[in-house]
Amino acid sequence: MEHPVSVETGGFDGFVAARAGELFAAAWLLTNDVHHAEDLVQTALSKTYGRYDSFDNDRHFEAYVRTTMYRTFVSWWRRLAWRSETPSDSPPDLPAPVTDIEPGTDLRRALASLPRMQRTVLVLRYFEDRSTRDVAQLLGIPEGTVTSHVSRGLAALRTSPQLNQEDQP
């Protein structure tokens, strides 16, 4: 997937306008929740905003943003506070419709049933098309751990009741 080398005329705002959809798609696959995905992208962008001018092109900056996004997701996963929200008396806002980025509902449910680290590794390996080495470096874990999570995640997906025979990896 080729990205424009730079959106120099738009600076950071141009980068966000051009890449936010794909960043959101990756975040949504990780979180399986529209609101958490929006929070994850927003957090990653706010953490990286000050470094935009230090990159020579938007492709390099995007890699930095994605690394920040995946590491933030893992840190949120490790922190119990992120998962312990309290319900409200008022009904939630309706989520924005997820359009062309949505994989099949069955696949989404099957991914959601996996432990978060397995889901993260599978999204990075198969939806982001990253190598085992890239995933290990991105998440700060050994390559053997990545391989183990991939193996266990794929095994779980193969036996997942949410997937039809033709959807299985």
DSSP letters spanning 35-101:
HHHHHHHHHHHHHHGGGGGGSSSHHHHHHHHHHHHHHHHHHHHH-GGGG-PPP-SSPPPPPPPP-TT
CA–CA separation, 7 vs 3, rounded Å? 10
Q: Which are the contacts of 135, defined by CB distance < 8 A and separation ≥ 6?
A: 121, 124, 125, 146
Nearest to 38 by CA among 11, 73, 62: 73
pLDDT score for 167 = 42
pTM here?
Answer: 0.58
The CATH code of the domain at 102-163 is 1.10.10.10
> What pLDDT shows up at residue 5?
42
Token pair in block for residue 16: 């966000």
Q: What residue spans define the domains of the chain?
A: 1-83, 102-163
List pLDDT tens digits, range 31-40.
Answer: 888 888 999 9
Kindly report the CATH number that applies to the domain delimited by 1-83: 1.10.1740
pLDDT digits (tens, 9 = 90+) for 56-69: 889 899 999 999 99
How many CB atoms sit inside 10 A of residue 88's CB? 7
